[in-house]
Structure 1
Amino acid sequence: MNKGRGNAAEKHAHAHHDHDHDRAHGHSHAHGHGHGHAHSHGVAPDADRRWLSIALGLIVVYMAVEVVIGLAAGSLALLSDAAHMLSDAASIVLALVAMRLAARPARGTYTFGLKRAEILSALANGLTLLLVSVWLAYEAVSRLVSPPEVDGPLMFYTALSGVVVNVAAAWCMSKANRSSLNVEGAFQHILTDLYAFIATTAAGAVVMFTGFARADAVATLIVVALMLRSGTTLVRAAGRIFLEAAPAGADPDAIGARLAAHEGVVEIHDLHVWEITSGDVVLSAHVIVAVGGDCHGVRRALQTTLREEYGITHATLQVDHAPAPLVGAGSVTGGPEAPHCEDAHGTVHVGSTLPGKG
């Protein structure tokens, strides 16, 4: 939103009118002219740290046991599972820390608080999956070329017990708030590990009954494929939030056109839609209202539309009356008599209301 636009005297007079208008109608409008907010920024109550802590305990204990058995059995698949469990444990610790940081209230220079700590955590989890998968792929290919001796029964029964532990950990994680990309990142670690143990169990059975030692490396490559998919998904989702892309499923052009279609709206521009953190969608826009139009009524109507049709409850709208005459067919960006937007961002959405018509 660009606050330095327009003639200063006109804006001062309009702001004065804005506050007088609200007082006359009994409205409380603490954010100043053209701003209206109805939003909640708290950490979701179902993002239960207790469940994540239980999952963390299960993973750490089993990981230590698996490292010892994996070395004794000579199984890369078991050691790769243990390495993945280490990243699981780190992802949960990171998620817990990020949740605490995100819960801190906004203050000082951090006007949105530390909510994006959760997205940093999700990004770190995704990158960890990708890095570990590269190392495991290298080791697996080496073992395909020159397979070492593997203790099939020990590999099979250890992996089978790992399936049980990971099912329990995944169940605990499912109790937390998976709408958070932070928690979803930790959950994907656990879920991928569960698939890995299933693959390792199958490989152990093959080695035990057929003596085909390369099954260990094949199971590892299956795990690598799963890790690459999960890691790529997490990194892409976190990257979209950091680059302030519109949330998935939200089309800024469609939203702008919908807002511009409201009665009394001449134009919508400088429309931005982004996420602070998972599910915390923010919108800002510059709204041009017809001369003599009810700017407050238009603002309230637009915010109702955003809330009811798009689920956007944090919307900051800068509302101005159109200059008279308005240069061009609804455009305020193209002439010296158009002071409202010297540097419009993105698409200009032209409304059906004619300038000068209330």
Structure 2
Amino acid sequence: MTMAHSHDHDHDHPHDHAPAVTGANERKVLISFFLIFIFMLVEVAGGILSGSLTLLADAGHMLTDAVALALAYAAFRYGRRAADDKRTFGYLRFEVIAGFVNAITLFGIVLWIAIEAWQRLLQPQPVLAGPMFVVALAGLLINALVFWILTRGDSDHVNIKGAMLHVLGDLLGSVGAVGAAIVIYFTGWMPIDPILSVVVSLLILRSAWHLLAKSLHILLEGAPDNAKPEMIQRHLQDAVPGVAEISHVHVWLITSGRALATLHVRPVRDAEARLVARAVEHELMARFGIEHATVAIDWNEEDAASCSLTNGPMTLADPHGCEPRA
């Protein structure tokens, strides 16, 4: 069977089908990042001065928030940079690589917290409940403010949504730190600090594992959850008229929310190949959010001779002479 690749895409249409992010919303993400990052440093200082491991663990969780916001902002900025001869997809994978490195770092933070917590359980250390309570309460308020700011932005965007989930998780960590300070102040029971630090570190571990799995999936060119090859094949054969067979479907993510695909399409009639290819591209975008697809046409062998004799000699663009004549 002979084949021809149909690259007859409408290259004039925009390729960024992700939710648009305005300059105002970019500023909201940047402001949120600075609030979280600066207060993370405050929590580190407060944890050291008060002797609270829970505050240090919460600072580690705030680091995940800061990185999530930084990646969101970087994705917006670098995503607009034009592709060049060396980077034909631009800098879209910058956030994925940064996310992978961040996830590995977070596993190290969790391990350190776990070792320190175990040592403190064996030999409890004094914690200054007053400073701990003040810093933890301020952290709770900062996280609430940042969450409110983010809900006023493009909350449908995958990066902003991820940052919101990070901040929401850190709210729980701040609540735990406040609770630990109250328990220590009224009861003097010091083990509550390392115990709650482990609880907060589990929140970090959850975020780190999700970030690692997501970034690895993209770096390994995995398919989006909502666009598996078998799903695409089944849907196109049912939804697009004139399709005889869909095969060799490959779909992968360039970065979060940006999917590409290649596939083979055998039309019922070769003369309708161009219309079928366009319909397939449209359906891929409308149903699966795949903004760029390369469609290869599997020609029907039995039609090859008749098409060439009827429509004229073959060309590179139309190897079987099956393109409709104007």
- TM-score (normalizing by structure 2): 0.80
Question: Shift in Å at residue 207 of structure 1?
Answer: 0.6
State the match for 2:297 in structure 1. 319
State the distance in 2 between where 1:317 and 1:117 align: 28
- Residue correspondence of structure 1 range 269-284 to structure 2 within 5 A: 269-284=247-262
What residue identity is the alignment partner of 1:35? Answer: D
1:112 paired residue among 75, 89, 97? 89
For the Cα contact (< 8 Å) 1:70–1:76, is it kept in 2?
yes
- Residue correspondence of structure 1 range 204-215 to structure 2 within 5 A: 204-215=181-192
For the Cα contact (< 8 Å) 1:119–1:182, is it kept in 2?
no
Question: Shift in Å at residue 229 of structure 1?
Answer: 1.0
Q: Percentage identity across aligned positions?
A: 34
What residue identity is the alignment partner of 1:213? Answer: M
State the distance in 1 between where 2:166 and 2:108 align: 13
1:309/1:84 CA distance change after superposition, 3 Å = closer
Segments of 5+ residues of structure 2 without an aligned counterpart are: 305-326
State the match for 2:217 in structure 1. 240
Question: Shift in Å at residue 247 of structure 1?
Answer: 0.6
Residues 274-319 of structure 1: per-residue CA shift (max 9 Å, x gap) = 2222222222211122455411122223233323333334222122
2:114 is aligned with 1:141: no
State the distance in 1 between where 2:60 and 2:285 align: 45
Deviates more, 1:185-194 or 1:165-174: 185-194
Deviates more, 1:274-283 or 1:62-71: 62-71
| Structural RMSD (CA) | 2.8
Segments of 5+ residues of structure 1 without an aligned counterpart are: 12-31, 327-358
1:6/1:60 CA distance change after superposition, 3 Å = same
For the Cα contact (< 8 Å) 2:61–2:200, is it kept in 1?
no
State the match for 2:321 in structure 1. none
Question: Shift in Å at residue 139 of structure 1?
Answer: 1.0
Q: How many aligned positions are there?
A: 299
What residue identity is the alignment partner of 1:270? Answer: H
- TM-score (normalizing by structure 1): 0.73
Question: Shift in Å at residue 130 of structure 1?
Answer: 2.4
- Residue correspondence of structure 1 range 113-192 to structure 2 within 5 A: 113-177=90-154, 182-184=159-161, 186-192=163-169
1:46 paired residue among 9, 18, 21? 21
2:267 paired residue among 262, 276, 289? 289
